[in-house]
Structure 1
């Protein structure tokens, strides 16, 4: 129904048959339902995990995309691990990362500096995909302890 005013008269027109029905648009994304049920997945583009294979060792694994939107979470997680009192070595496993931009590369440089300041070994597992490529192209890999696998990174860790 359309109501329009012409001068002082109101004209009512019923055009219900002329307008096609509008499709309903879902108001929630699939992953938002998980949050309503107590899940702690803030960004569907990145998943992170922490493993502690031995005392003084931590492995941060990432699966997904590293970019400007996910960098603050990653930076905070790495900062927390590097300030742990009993940490001797940190391995960052990026082998499952599907996208990384220069923000992610900068993040690794800062993490390396923090680790050196605290006397903590930082090892990076770039994998064979996009992370290895950006590290090679930028030359950042020369300043990082890069390894082919988490096992190789853990084998290179100096025992205190």
Structure 2
């Protein structure tokens, strides 16, 4: 008898809604086990030299300290590359984690994708 398949803790996908803009959507948990997956998924995004990167975290169900660390590394990379980085929150776990950590100024969270794309 085989054990049932365990769904992945984090699923990531990316899209390019317009030239120079990349949206990376995260669905699931971003913690010590999955934060490296997010960092790895962003490597080709940075290599494509976009003008704006939007991390859509509206489907994230848990954001731990390792996830916040990955987001801070993304912000550092964006600053170095002169890329606008925006996060989409809108969920209690994301908004609260950024707020409690005091990272609101460093990791601006937009309420929805439209604001993140144009703000």
- TM-score calculated relative to the size of structure 2: 0.93
For residues 36-58 of structure 1, the C-alpha deviation after alignment (integer angstroms, 9 at most, x for no partner) is xxxxxxx6111111111000100
Match of 1:60 in 2: 24
Provide the residue aligned with 1:13 in structure 2. none
Q: Which residue of 2 aligns with 1:39?
A: none
Contact 2:55 2:88 in 1 (8 A): yes
Higher RCO, Cα 8 Å, sep 6+: 2
1:84 match: 48
Preserved contact between residue 95 and residue 129 of structure 1 (Cα < 8 Å): no
Determine the C-alpha separation between the residues in 2 that align with 1:97 and 1:88. Answer: 24
Equivalent pairs, count: 119
Note the aligned Cα RMSD (angstroms): 1.3
Structure 2 regions of 5+ residues with no counterpart? none
**1:79 Cα deviation from its structure 2 partner:** 2.3
- Are 1:155 and 2:118 an aligned pair? yes
Structure 1 position 72, deviation (Å): 1.2
Q: Is 1:97 paired with 2:60?
A: yes
Cα drift, residue 145 of structure 1: 2.6
Ranges in structure 1 where 5+ consecutive residues have no aligned partner: 1-25, 32-42
- Asked if 2 retains the 8 angstrom alpha-carbon contact of 1:50 and 1:58, the reply is yes
Q: Aligned partners of 1:154, 1:78: CA distance in 2, in Å?
A: 17
Structure 1 residue runs of 4+, over 6 Å off?
none
Kept in 1: contact 2:12–2:41 (CA 8 A): no
Which of 1 and 2 has greater Rg? Answer: 1
Per-residue CA deviations over 1:35-91 (Å, capped at 9, x if unaligned) read: xxxxxxxx6111111111000100001111111111111101112211213x11000
TM-score (norm: length of structure 1): 0.70
